[in-house]
Amino acid sequence: MAKHETPLLDQLEGGPWPSFVSDLKAQAETKPEVWDILGQLELSYKDRITHWKHGGIVGVFGYGGGIVGRYSDVPEQFPGVEHFHTIRVAQPASKYYSTENLRKLCDLWEKHGSGVTNMHGSTGDIILLGTRTENLEPFFWDLTHEMGQDLGGSGSNLRSPACCLGLSRCEWSCYDTQDACYHLTLHYQDEIHRPAFPYKFKFKFSGCANDCVAAIARADVSVIGTWKDKIRIDQAAVKEYIAGNYPSNGGSHAGRDWGPFDIKKEVLDLCPTECMWMEGDELKIDDAECTRCMHCINVMPRALRPGAEQGATILVGAKAPILEGAQMSTLMVPFMKVSKDNEYEELIDFIEKIWDWWMEVGKNRERVGESMQRVGLPTFIKVMDLEPIPQMIKEPRCNPYVFWAEEEVEGGFERDIDEFRARHAA
Amino acid sequence: MGYNPDKPMEGRITDLGPPHYEQFLPPVIKENKGKWLWHEITQPGVLMHKSETGDEVYTVRCGSARLMTVNHIREICDIADAHCDGYLRFTTRNNIEFMVDSKDKVQPLLDDLASRGNKFPVGGTGAGITNIVHTQGWIHCHTPATDASGPVKVVMDDLFEYFTSMALPAQVRIALACCLNMCGAVHASDIAILGIHRKPPMIDHKRITGVCELPLAIASCPLGAVKPAKAEVDGKEIKTVKVTVERCMFCGNCYTMCPAMPMADPEGDGIAILVGGKVSNAKSAPKFSKLVIPFLPNNTPKWPETVEAIRKILEAYAKDAKKYERVGEWAERIGWESFFEKCDIPFTEKSIDDYRLAYDTWRTTTQFKFTSHVK
């Protein structure tokens, strides 16, 4: 593979941020086909348009997902990227690695592919960018046999679930997001590898309402940690914050002089429910009014902690705008115990109830949030065998167009017009 | 023995799933899982977590290009082997985290990282800018309206001072999606960089019969702009589609369904900027990002218009917002008319919603500000 001139890309080598161009060039020294990646990308920079063809269905036997086919539309110029398929490899929970594991994966990818990756794709998978069709089965063989690892999801199936780092390195996580993510990922291997859904389906697990994996904005089932009892307060630490001995927000604002810490201005007045006040130098919280937004805990991590009776709020139906517009997930279950003690039975029942219905009524390429919109939230609540409660809505409807059912109305819908007219002349 | 193409199903292993996470946890993390009490950012890019056992873990966070080679990953491994007992992690926002179990191991790690040129910038914590979540762009995708890695590189080069400091009113999350499919949650970001098309699809009548299910292509359009049609190819009449151009909103869904309807175009494609989204529930509810700049051109290789627009928004926010206020909370407090004025962004009709549920965004109160928009 010949080296290509890349005068446009060369301009992206300077500057303080890591340069993917320098990285690709260094890799090309030992993997010459990487010159063709650079060459085709340079052409895209010149033409200001992509040079990849639409689609191409490739995969490994028995799986309907995990590999995305890709072909160059200028293969004569850049034969090294004629085929440039992507492999999605399921990532370990919270993306912790041993170097031993990563090095093995690098060796495999150097042997079977371009050596170029994304760490990681948006959904969470390890993305291996660029290989030929004939390399797919040998790569999959080595991945499963030598590393005991597997592909992730793509297409109309369950996508690789993802989680925040949870209890592993965060004091706020209200359940073990890693274990829940791992357990459900293993439980649903068939759904990940063999597309049988109307469209993609995602789970994401965040340990608290700060939602570091953006579950509420992009997961069909968003599992977000919360608590039922009282915020745990260390009054001695509250005094240290007031005295200015502990930095606010864990030191997040240390780069600017915001003046001395003011608990009223920075905590009490910013509480969305105004449920906090000071009595002398004691911080008081009316926990019944608290909506567990995390602000006060974020600001004073050494003084305040989530309550001890912990679980998760389950919300359903988030998605990006294509097609009917972006949706956040809608609250369905205010509090669910999420525990490995019963192997996440409640959550699994909940998920399968959604799937049973959605696989029946969901249209082709309709996310579950769109199916919910189409049938209406009251119908979806019935499907889920849930009691309608005000926590599921922001506010009651402001139109009176209720779909009353006949059995709800005294005497039913059948009436006799002649009898009516006997009393009411037309 | 490896894969045998003559007996593809022999010895095949499937459905293993990901490896168990526990084997990859550094010892200090494994021993203190569920026991963490509090944390503190000791300097930009360095976090300290304190356990109830008295243990501490120091995390050094580094930016990455996300697009990286095995060469680069091996260098990351070299660093983790030298300083972190052979463990590391990546964050949801494409940062690399190196963890050490005592304070005296932090400075040697920082020195090592600093000695490697621009490969491992330390930062991305607290009230600053962290790494940009982004998509593939021209390096791999067939539907993009802009590149991803290039715009991210030039925006992060420009905003680098905010990556290595914590001087903003709150964290600012930037995300880039190279088309409306939005692989990644850019629709709930403080600042979203979004690739958009502005020319309707072309119809490749010569190809459509072989590659396209016409009913699917027709049904793919949310506005019913794709209709059945007939065309003549090599003297023969074929079934095809036509596009009612006035109804096209350039979402690209038809091209996703039908390869014979390409949309991308050097002049038509570019970037829209959306602002004010958030994912966290802290203080205010999660919000969607709102479109404030409808189009900026794909001026390769450095996208100067996009870089400048983002800096302008960020500087106006940094100057004007209160401590803890996210971009969207600030814009709502001052009012969107003031947002446009303070950021020096011309307001156009393109920011007024005319898609589904548009009415929710129209102003139905007498409360407004007399900004320069009121003539």
Q: Which of B1, B7, B15 should one mutate to test binding to chain A, selecting the residue with the greatest count of A CBs within 10 A? A: B15
Using the 3D structure, point to which of A145, A174, A197 is the last residue of a domain.
Answer: A145
* Residue-level pLDDT at B24: 98
B14, amino acid identity: T
From chain A, the residues in CB contact with B56 under 8 A are none
For residue B100, list chain A residues with Cβ-Cβ distance below 8 A.
Answer: none
Interface touch B142/A247, C-beta < 8 Å: no
Decide if A296 contacts A276 (C-beta within 8 A).
yes
**Does residue A426 sit within a domain?**
no
pLDDT number for residue B121: 98
CA–CA min distance B238, chain A (Å): 22
**Residue A13 within a domain:** yes
The enclosing domain of A130 has a CATH number of: 3.30.70.2500
A244 and A285 part of one domain? yes
Same domain, A261 and A293: yes
Report DSSP letters for A51-80, one per residue. -B-S------TT-SSSEE--BBS-TTT-GG
Query: Do B153 and A19 count as a contact with CB atoms less than 8 A apart?
Result: yes
In a domain, residue A44? The reply is yes
Domain count, chain A: 3
The token pair at B61 is 């966070």
Q: Looking at beta carbons, which residues of chain A come within 8 Å of B138?
A: 41, 44-45, 49-52
Q: Averaged over A270-299, what is the pLDDT?
A: 97
A219 and A327 share one domain:
yes
Percent of chain A beyond pLDDT 70? 100
First to last CA, chain A: 90
CATH of the domain at A204: 3.30.413.10
Average pLDDT of adjacent 10-residue blocks, chain B of 375 residues: 90 97 98 98 98 98 98 98 98 98 98 98 98 97 97 98 98 96 88 98 96 94 96 96 96 95 97 98 97 98 98 98 98 98 98 88 87 93
Quickly tell me which residue has 């604002």 as its tokens: A253
Residues of B in contact with A19 (CB under 8 A): 65, 118, 153
Output the pLDDT for position A55.
Answer: 78
CA-nearest of A174, A206, A201, A199 to A188 is A201
Q: Which residues of A touch B125 (CB under 8 A)?
A: 252
User: Of A37, A130, A169, which is closest to B57 when you measure between CB atoms?
Assistant: A169
Residues A257 and A284 in one domain: yes
- CATH code for the domain of A279: 3.30.70.20
User: What pLDDT does B183 receive?
Assistant: 84
Per-residue HEC secondary structure of chain B comes to CCCCCCCCCCCCCCCCCCCCHHHHCCHHHHHHCCCEEEEEEEECCEEEEEECCCCEEEEEEECCCCEEEHHHHHHHHHHHHHHCCCEEEECCCCCEEEEECCHHHHHHHHHHHHCCCCCCCECCCCCCECCCECCCHHHCCCCCCCCCHHHHHHHHHHCHHHHCCCCCCCCECEEEECCCCCCCCHHHCCEEEEEECCCCCCCCHHHHHHHCCHHHHHHCCCCCCEEEEEEEECCEEEEEEEECHHHCCCCCHHHHHCCCCCCCCCCCCEEEEEECCECCCCCCCCECCEEEEEEEECCCCCCHHHHHHHHHHHHHHHHHCCCCCCHHHHHHHHCHHHHHHHCCCCCCHHHCCCCCCHHHHCCCCCCCCCCCCCC
pTM for the model stands at 0.97
Beta bridge partners of A8: none
3-class DSSP assignment, residue A89 = strand
Asked whether residue A374 is domain-assigned, the answer is yes
Q: Are the Cβ atoms of B88 and A97 closer than 8 angstroms?
A: yes
- Domain stops at, among A305, A323, A355: A305
The residue of A29, A132, A169, A373 whose CB has the most chain B CBs within 10 angstroms, and thus the best one to mutate to test that interface, is A169
CB contact under 8 Å between B41 and A251, yes or no, is yes
The minimum CA-CA distance between B221 and chain A, rounded to whole Å, is 9
Contact A129/B140, CB-based, under 8 Å?
yes
CB contact under 8 A, A211 and B279: yes
Best probe of the B interface among A63, A86, A98, A302, by most B CBs < 10 A, is A98
Domain assignment present for residue A1? The answer is: no
Residue B214: predicted pLDDT? 96
Mean pLDDT (whole number) for A239-260 = 97
Do A331 and A210 fall within a single domain?
A: yes
Domain end residue (candidates: A115, A145, A175): A145
- pLDDT tens per residue, range A191-227: 999 999 999 999 999 999 999 999 999 999 999 999 9
Q: Are residues A322 and A249 in the same domain?
A: no
* Rounded CA separation A163/B47 (Å): 20
| Facing B67 at nearest CB: one of A118, A142, A326 | A118
Q: What is the pLDDT of residue A1?
A: 59
Query: Is A20–B65 a contact, with Cβ atoms under 8 angstroms apart?
Result: yes
- With 0-12 / 13-18 / 19 or more C-beta atoms within 10 angstroms meaning exposed / middle / buried, residue A187 is middle
Q: How far is A372 from chain B (nearest CA, A)?
A: 16
Chain A residue with the nearest C-alpha to that of B130 = A17
**Within this chain, do residues A18 and A108 fall inside the same structural domain, yes or no?**
yes
Nearest to A45 among B11, B153, B301 (CB): B301
Q: Which of A50, A78, A110, A398 should one mutate to test binding to chain B, selecting the residue with the greatest count of B CBs within 10 A?
A: A50
- Residue A132, class by beta-carbon neighbours within 10 Å (0-12 exposed, 13-18 middle, 19+ buried)? middle
Q: Which residue of A lies nearest to B324 if distances are taken between CA atoms? A: A266
pLDDT at A302 over 90: yes
**Per the CB < 8 Å rule, is A97 touching B89?**
yes
Residues of B in contact with A121 (CB under 8 A): 183
pLDDT for residue A322? 87
CB atoms within 10 A of CB B23: 13
CB neighbours (10 Å) of residue A345?
A: 11
Q: What residues of A are in contact with residue B5 (Cβ under 8 Å)? A: 137
* Residues A13 and A119 reside in one and the same domain: yes
In a shared domain, residues A174 and A209: yes
Q: How many CA atoms lie within 13 A of A375 on its CB side?
A: 20
Reduced to 3 states (helix: H, G, I; strand: E, B; else coil), residue A210 is coil
Query: Does the pLDDT value for residue A170 go beyond 90?
Result: yes
Phi then psi for residue A47, to 5 deg, are -85, -15
Asked if residue A234 has pLDDT above 70, the reply is: yes
DSSP conformational letter for A270: T
Task: With a threshold of 0.85, tell me whether the complex ipTM lies above it.
Answer: yes
> How many pairs of residues across A and B have Cβ atoms under 8 Å apart?
402
- Residue contact A52–B154, C-beta within 8 A: no
Residue from B280, B291, B306, B322 whose CB has the most chain A CBs within 10 Å, to mutate: B280
A74 & A204 share domain: no
Instruction: Let me know whether A241 and A334 are in one domain.
Output: no
Nearest CA in chain A to B81: A99
Judge: A118–B68 Cβ closer than 8 Å, yes or no.
Answer: yes
Are residue A200 and residue A334 in the same domain, yes or no? yes
List chain A residues with CB under 8 Å of B222.
323-324
**CB contacts, 8 Å: A8 with chain B:** 300-301
- Asked whether the predicted pLDDT for residue A2 surpasses 80, the reply is no
Asked whether residue A331 is assigned to any structural domain, the reply reads yes
Q: Which residues of A touch B171 (CB under 8 A)?
A: 252
Which of B127, B188, B251 lies closest to A214 in CB terms?
Answer: B188
Provide the pLDDT confidence category of residue A267 given band limits of 50, 70 and 90: very high
Q: Which residues of B touch A249 (CB under 8 A)?
A: 126-127, 324
Q: Is residue A128 part of a domain?
A: yes
> Which residues form the domain of A212?
162-226+312-408
Q: Sign of dihedral through CA atoms A247, A249, A251, A255?
A: negative
Contact B135 A137 (CB under 8 A): no
Q: Render pLDDT for A79-94 as a digit per residue (tens, 0 to 9).
A: 999 999 999 999 999 9
* Residue A366 forms part of a structural domain: yes
**Chain B nearest C-alpha distance from A32 (Å):** 13
Residue B39 preceded by cis peptide, ω within 30: no
Amino acid found at B331: A
